[in-house]
Amino acid sequence: MDNQAKLPGAEDIACSTGDAPVSYRVCAFYRFLQLEDLPSLQGSIKSRLIAAEMCGTVLLAPEGINGTVAG
């Protein structure tokens, strides 16, 4: 069980590589900007990350976005 408290707007997308060796890139990002309709934006970002077989955490808030993803 995960003991970490989730921040509002936090969305984790888990990855599993099994036993295969993996090569991947990590991208950390942030931007301060006015965001609206966070639930719609969250769904769009999540579906794009899943389609691209990426994993990570993306935080959305009215004042901006912050995240780290890998794939």
List, for residues 59-70, the tens digit of each pLDDT value: 999 999 999 999
Other C-beta atoms closer than 10 Å to the C-beta of 63 total: 10
List, for residues 32-60, the tens digit of each pLDDT value: 999 999 999 999 999 999 999 998 999 99
DSSP code, position 9? T
**Max Cα–Cα distance, the chain, nearest Å:** 42
Measured in whole angstroms, the distance separating CA 13 from the mean position of its chain's CA atoms is 6
Residue in 7, 18, 22, 21 with CA at minimum distance from that of residue 66: 7
Is the pTM here over 0.85, yes or no?
Answer: no
Residues forming beta bridges with residue 64, ordered by sequence position: 32, 61
